[in-house]
C-alpha cells in the first residue's frame, strides 16, 4: 500500500510541474511584410477540443503536452492560411512563427517542397509543409484547390511537361492519402512555359522549378 501512494504522488507532481510552451506570431503581407489585422484561430489538432480566436495581426497563446496545434489566419482580400505548430519546435519553451499572407486571386508557392532531381519523388523534408495544406483543407471543408506544376526550361519541352504533371500528381497523392477527397484537388502542368525568371543562372532555374497552389473554391 505504501508503494501505491508513492506512485500516485509522483504522477501528480509530474503534472504539476509540466512546463507551458508559449506560441507567438504575426500575420504579415507577403510583399510589404507589414502586419495584417486578421481573424486568427488556434485549435488543438486534429481534435479541435481546445480553441480560441484573436482579432489582430499578432497572437500569443500557451500550450501544454505533446499535441500539435493549428493556427488559421483569415483576412479580407487575402488567401486563408493555416500552419501547424508542434511542441517539439520549442526553443526555451517558446515557438515563434510568422504567417505570410498572399492576396486573393494569386497562387501560393509551396516553397519548402523538394523533389529528387529530375524525378517526382517527394523528399520527406517536404512533408511538414504538405501536412499544413492537409490541415487547412480538413479545417475548411469547402475549399477546393488546383496544384500547378512548373519546371525550368532546360532540356526537352515534352519531358518537362510530363515531369511537372508527375510532380503535382505526387503531391495530390500525398494529400489524398491523408484523408482529403480527390475531387477537391485539380492538377495542371505547365512544364517550363511560365518561368518566374528568364536569367540563365542556377538560382533563376531553381526559382522556376516549383509547385503552386491556387484556391478554386473557398
User: What integer pLDDT is reported at residue 13 of this predicted model?
Assistant: 43
User: What integer pLDDT is reported at residue 116 of this predicted model?
Assistant: 81
pLDDT tens digits for 160-217? 999 999 999 999 999 999 999 999 999 999 999 999 999 989 888 888 899 999 999 9
The dotted CATH code for 20-101 is 2.60.40.10
The three three-digit cell numbers of residue 150, written as one number = 512548373
pLDDT tens digits for 97-115? 999 999 999 999 998 998 8
| Residue bearing the bigger pLDDT, 204 or 43 | 43
User: What integer pLDDT is reported at residue 2 of this predicted model?
Assistant: 42
C-alpha 60/C-alpha 154 separation (Å) is 46
User: What integer pLDDT is reported at residue 117 of this predicted model?
Assistant: 79
pLDDT tens digits for 45-89? 999 999 999 999 999 999 988 999 999 999 999 999 999 999 999
Contact status, residue 72 vs residue 81, Cβ threshold 8 Å: yes
The dotted CATH code for 108-217 is 3.30.1330.60
User: What integer pLDDT is reported at residue 38 of this predicted model?
Assistant: 98
Run of H or E including 23 = strand 21-29
Indicate the Cα dihedral angle 99, 102, 103, 109, nearest 10°.
Answer: -160
- Does the structure show a pLDDT above 80 at 157? yes
Q: How far is CA 113 from CA 17, 50, 134, 207, in A?
A: 39, 30, 14, 12
- Residue spans per domain, the chain: 20-101, 108-217
- 122-140 average pLDDT score: 95
Amino acid at each position: 500500500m505504501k508503494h501505491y501512494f508513492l506512485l500516485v504522488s509522483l504522477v501528480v507532481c509530474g503534472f504539476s510541474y509540466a512546463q507551458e510552451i508559449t506560441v507567438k506570431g504575426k500575420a504579415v503581407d507577403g510583399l510589404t511584410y507589414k502586419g495584417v489585422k486578421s481573424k486568427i484561430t488556434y485549435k488543438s489538432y486534429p481534435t479541435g477540443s481546445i480553441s480560441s480566436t484573436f482579432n489582430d495581426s499578432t497572437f500569443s497563446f500557451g500550450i501544454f503536452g505533446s499535441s500539435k496545434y493549428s493556427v488559421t489566419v483569415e483576412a479580407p482580400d487575402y488567401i486563408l492560411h493555416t500552419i501547424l505548430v508542434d511542441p517539439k519546435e520549442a526553443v526555451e519553451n517558446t515557438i515563434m512563427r510568422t504567417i505570410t499572407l498572399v492576396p486573393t486571386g494569386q497562387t501560393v508557392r509551396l516553397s519548402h517542397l523538394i523533389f529528387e532531381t529530375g524525378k517526382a519523388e517527394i523528399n520527406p523534408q517536404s512533408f511538414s509543409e504538405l501536412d499544413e495544406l492537409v490541415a487547412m483543407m480538413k479545417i475548411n471543408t469547402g475549399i477546393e484547390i488546383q496544384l500547378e506544376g512548373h519546371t525550368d526550361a532546360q532540356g526537352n519541352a515534352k519531358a518537362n511537361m510530363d515531369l511537372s504533371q508527375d510532380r503535382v500528381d505526387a503531391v495530390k497523392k500525398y494529400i489524398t492519402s491523408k484523408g482529403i477527397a480527390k475531387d477537391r484537388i485539380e492538377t495542371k502542368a505547365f512544364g517550363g512555359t511560365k518561368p518566374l525568371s528568364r536569367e540563365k543562372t542556377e538560382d533563376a532555374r531553381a526559382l522556376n522549378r516549383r509547385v503552386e497552389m491556387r484556391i478554386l473554391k473557398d
